Amino acid sequence: MSRKLFGTDGIRGQVGEYPMTAEFALRLASAAAHVLAPQGGTVLIGKDTRVSGYMFESALEAGFVAAGMDVMLVGPLPTPGIAYLTRTLGADLGVVISASHNPYQDNGIKFFDREGGKLSDAIEAAIEARLESPAITRESSQLGRAKRIDNALLSYQNFCISTVSSGLRLDGLKIVVDCSHGAAYKVAPRVLTELGAEIVPIGCSPNGRNINDGCGSMKPELLQLTTTGVRADLGVALDGDGDRLLMADHTGALVDGDQLLWVLASAWQKSGELQGPVVGTLMSNFGLERGLGELGIEFLRARVGDRYVLELLRERGGRLGGETSGHLLCLDKTTTGDGLISALQVLSVVKNTGSRLADLVAGMPRYPQKLVNVRVAKKLDLDGSPPVQAAVLRAQQQLAGRGRVVLRPSGTEPVVRVMVEGDDRAEVERLTEELAETVRQAANA
């Protein structure tokens, strides 16, 4: 069965337009209950700070309760926190209401299984197929109940702290933390303060409409400016649902997911903690692959999407992987990508080595790389477009083995991502713009 609604990270869209309506959310809850817990059970529901979260929370609650499932509501909490609590509280599934790094006008719904892992493509397809049937409403004696969980944030906070060595203290570090006015706005500052850091919080005043607005990992310029402006040692930026991490060093230079993987992989190799290969994606900088290779660390590329990084890590027995965008997976710490936990691992390396973040990333070579997002009104068949394929072939021939060309439709946004990487920055920029223009023309044809 193929999936039409589920993308690489759940179902997303603009609020008020199909499928992001209250009526659809109720039917989705009913379908998920039928597929994942046909005999009843318990579901945990969390959300980020979007104003539409109230609507979808109520609709999902109604759908699950009508289908005979008990509902636990935890309110705003990072996506990885929902994965953790689903597992530890013994829920049969977890639900997150979030569109991650997208603007507040969008929202989304994604699921975790009882182990805190993402659902397989096959299970998501089965849920979609069930949507063709009417929503379930059981008789009164079989209806579920709903309750709010008051200590969820504290439980997740303590779990995050438990992922670093018991003696670790961040005293002496001044850290800017940007929570993107999103789900981590309470827990991230609390965790860093509990460990002794002096923090400068920004993006920690959500109003339902400012999530990801000019801040966070999608707009790290504010983090960079603030880090240098307050003379902090480094900065930490999360996205709206707290599963993505970017950092800034003391000079304000941005440190992306590839560089953070380098810091962790090289440190863990020295300490003996690294197991199996490191997994990146098609978009990972070639410098990361080359640098890890020089250290004798195997590097593998998965399809874009942290779920595919996770699959390859499990298949090959690895613990560490992630994306350039900052979705990092530390599988010896938790089951899914967690921006705050990933930040704590990097901060552990900073403290244990006594090095600045800028010095830790300096050893990784970086190839010039440019990414352009081309917005498209409808799905574009890249393989079936002769002009696009001809342009890709020309670019590959010009690079002549000195770089890479990657074109792929986004799984979360109506865009085609055009990326070129090579050893000559001017050539990379020129080829990227030429390819992007070809894709635009093909999309408008």
What's the CATH class of domain 255-361?
Answer: alpha beta
pLDDT confidence of residue 384: 86
Q: Is the pLDDT of residue 1 over 60?
A: no
Q: What is the mean pLDDT of the chain?
A: 95
Confidence check: pLDDT of 401 > 80: no
Taking residues 327-334, report their average pLDDT: 96
Number of separate helices (H) and strands (E) present in the chain: 14, 18
Assigned CATH topology for domain 11-150: Alpha-D-Glucose-1,6-Bisphosphate; Chain A, domain 3 (3.40.120)
Catalytic residue among 100, 180, 266, 325: 100
Give the pLDDT confidence score for residue 31 in this predicted structure. Answer: 98
Helices (H), 169-300: 187-194, 221-229, 257-271, 286-294
DSSP assigned state of 38: T
Residue pLDDT, tens place only, 37-80: 999 999 999 999 999 999 999 999 999 999 999 999 999 999 99
Q: What is the arithmetic mean of pLDDT over 351-358?
A: 97
User: What pLDDT is attached to residue 381?
Assistant: 82
Superfamily of domain 156-164+171-250: Alpha-D-Glucose-1,6-Bisphosphate, subunit A, domain 3 (3.40.120.10)
Residue 70: strand pairing partners: 42
Question: Which has the closest alpha carbon to 186: 291, 90, 105, 78?
Answer: 78
pTM for this prediction: 0.90
Q: Where are the alpha helices (DSSP H) in 135-239?
A: 152-162, 187-194, 221-229
84: left (phi over 0), alpha (psi -120 to 50) or beta: alpha
The percent of residues in the chain predicted with pLDDT above 70, rounded, is: 99
Active site residue 100: yes
Kindly report, residue by residue over 168-190, the tens digit of the pLDDT: 999 999 999 999 999 999 999 99
Residues 232-261: what's their mean pLDDT?
98
Residue 257, φ and ψ in degrees, nearest 5: -60, -35
Domain 369-444 -> CATH class: alpha beta
The beta strand positions in 10-115, using DSSP E, are 11-14, 41-47, 69-76, 93-97, 106-113
Q: Does residue 14 register a pLDDT over 80?
A: yes
17: Cβ contacts below 8 Å, ≥ 6 apart: none
Whole-number Å distance between alpha carbons of 439 and 26: 38
Closest to 297 in 3D by CA, of 279, 315, 284, 324: 279
State residue 400's pLDDT score. 85
pLDDT of residue 410: 80
268 pLDDT above the threshold of 70? yes
Task: Please determine, for residue 321, whether its predicted confidence score (pLDDT) is greater than 60.
Answer: yes
Distance CA(245)–CA(255), nearest Å, equals: 9
Rounded-to-integer distance, Cα 135 and Cα 30, Å = 5
- Hey, is 330 helix, strand or coil? strand
State the Cα angle at 7 between 81 and 18, rounded to 5°.
100
The percentage of the chain sitting over the pLDDT mark of 90, rounded to a whole number, equals 89
CATH 3.40.120.10-classified regions of the chain: 11-150, 156-164+171-250, 255-361
pLDDT of residue 414: 83
